[in-house]
Amino acid sequence: MMFSIVIPTRTRADTLRHAVRTVLAQTDGDFEVIVHESGDDPATAAAVAEFDDPRIGFFKTGEPVRMTENWERALAHVRGDYVLFIGDDDGLLPDACAIARGILQAHPNEILSWPFASYYWPRYFDPEMANRLSAASGEKLLCTLKDSRLLLELFYRFRASYVDLPMIYNSFVSRRVIERARALRGHYFIGSYPDVSSAVVNLFFSREFIHCNRPLSVNAASHHSTGHGLVKSGDPVVQARVTAAAFGTIPIHPTMVPSADLTISMANEMLITKQELFPDEEPQLEYGRMLEEAARRISEIPNQYDIVLASCRAIAARNAIEFDESHLLPRELLPKAQRRDRREVAAGTVFIDLDGAARGFENVFDAVTALAGQLPLAGPSVFVAETPPVREIGGVGKESITIDFSQRGNGALLLGRGWSVIEHWGVWSIGTRAEITFPIAAKFSGSIMLHLIGSVFLPPRNLSLCIKLGTRILLKRHLVANEGRVAIELLPVEIERSESAKRLDLVIGISEAKTPMETGLCPDPRRVGFGLERIAIWASEPPRSRLGATSRLLRKLLLGSGELTPG
């Protein structure tokens, strides 16, 4: 058969039966369901027996075991070519297997992943989120071939969110990938959090994978949810209970501290997985960016602000790195976004956000059924390749290159400290300082010119730009951005020939201003400054008489119709 859908469970018959219902409702019948129980609960056995379906295999461990052990044991029973795990409160869209089959037959690959859709059951502990369903989907089915090692690198630099990764929780994964991991390490699941570690394993043991822009499953959270109880409840009693039940003792990497914070605990899991798979290889975890992300989310969970702050300080001290506290979020809990049934959030992408209470949802099966009716028709898939990243400057002869900092762009690897998450249009600087690093090719000599295109929040804003080569300052410029849209053209800097590669650093300083939340514009609490969209670079050895013409050409290229105002 083509698909094995695995549902690990533990004493959750009330949600399990609805998760199974969503799988059995598939329009493509070439699948099996493996329900694998940690323990031996009569109610769980009765819930599975209700279906009396030969496609369901039910297995149990007898005595309760750690989450990763239960998941690992379940793998011994799969027979399908591709494996997907869903939680016992999650759901599968009815056309998931049919869409996956169509994509994988047209474009054979070992991994197919998709974006998360989310549903919070009616008894979820946060009443503001309870019975809420949300999902982003492309209006047309678009599949992107992604570079596994590039995404692994971005993940360890905290430039890619874990929800964008090909976890076995949101991916059909070929058994060949799983067996490669088991042949090397004796097991597939590593550490304590099988969703995060499976993403690292899948990326490490594959060269590329397919990501489609339409959700095929619903990642749900109920009153049982282990992960949400640990990292989102803010309740130490709940945290202790779910840790004991699901994880036992969580190993802590020597550079980290125990924490229930999502970013910090995920970083620890990344380090534990790296220690087992590639301890002496790249990528390395970028601790500074990890602390920036922890600070960016510090107000999300009740009662956790001081605990997370103390953890960040301890990690910074343990690793001898700087932790900038001047731009921490306020202590108040962030407001939840207002529900709007359907809206376009980017060109070709629709966001669906449904109030389940108003629509009569009682469980994940109801939510999945409603979402299936809201999503655009899948249609035939369009297949595109990922834009390769810029890794080096100076090997392009006398041609200009444009670096794009949007989600589909090529500039993510160049971003240093002081930048927030990459969005569909570009990336915001956070605080008063942001850094970009341009690796310069060995043996390059000549001039490099930079032209920045973007915007500033709440003009007028004072900007400073400094270009450095090592400790040597090559250029400084101060300006005032009086309008929201800016184009900043910097004078050429001269690079002397070297046998080895160099690093050209651009440091952007920006005066502080109120956050979008403080101005009442939107509930965004970030201290945003400069919104970077793209940088055009000219790396060449032109005669000085040609510099003015080149500069004018680039200005015309970047400014287009003149809608941008030079800074």
Residues 293-342 have pLDDT tens digits of 998 888 888 788 999 999 999 999 999 999 988 778 777 766 666 666 78
Give per-residue pLDDT as tens, 362-420.
999 999 999 999 998 888 889 998 999 999 987 655 668 999 999 999 999 999 999 99
pLDDT (average), residues 443-471 = 94
Give the length of the chain: 567
In the 8-state DSSP scheme, what is residue 413? Answer: G
pLDDT at 526: 85
Contact 537, 449 (CB under 8 A): yes
Give per-residue pLDDT as tens, 24-51.
999 999 999 999 999 999 999 999 999 9
Q: Kindly report the pTM of this predicted structure.
A: 0.90
Determine whether 275 is exposed, middle or buried from the number of CB atoms within 10 Å of its CB (0-12, 13-18, 19+). Answer: middle
Can you list the alpha helix ranges (DSSP code H) found in 319-450? Answer: 356-359, 364-374
Give per-residue pLDDT as tens, 462-505.
999 999 998 999 999 999 999 999 999 999 999 998 888 899 99
Between 514 and 67, the higher pLDDT residue: 67
Q: Is the pLDDT of residue 548 over 60?
A: no
Spatial distance between the Cα atoms of 115 and 214, rounded to a whole number of angstroms: 7
Residue 148's identity, in one-letter code, is S
- CA-closest candidate to residue 131, choices 141, 122, 142: 122
Least confident of 137-141, 244-248, 266-270, 553-557: 553-557
Domains, in order of start, for the chain: 400-566 (2.60.120.260)
The secondary structure of 472-529, three-state, reads EEEEEEEEEECCCEEEEECCCEEECCCCCCEEEEEEEEECCCCCHHHHCCCCCCCCEE
CA within 13 Å, CB half, 197: 25
Q: How far is CA 550 from the centre of its chain?
A: 38
Long-range contacts of 413-416 (CB under 8 A, 24+ apart): 413/150, 413/153, 413/154, 413/157, 413/159, 413/389, 414/390, 414/438, 415/159, 416/505
Residue 356's identity, in one-letter code, is G
Instruction: Write the CB contacts of 69 (distance below 8 Å, at least 6 apart in sequence).
Output: 38, 61
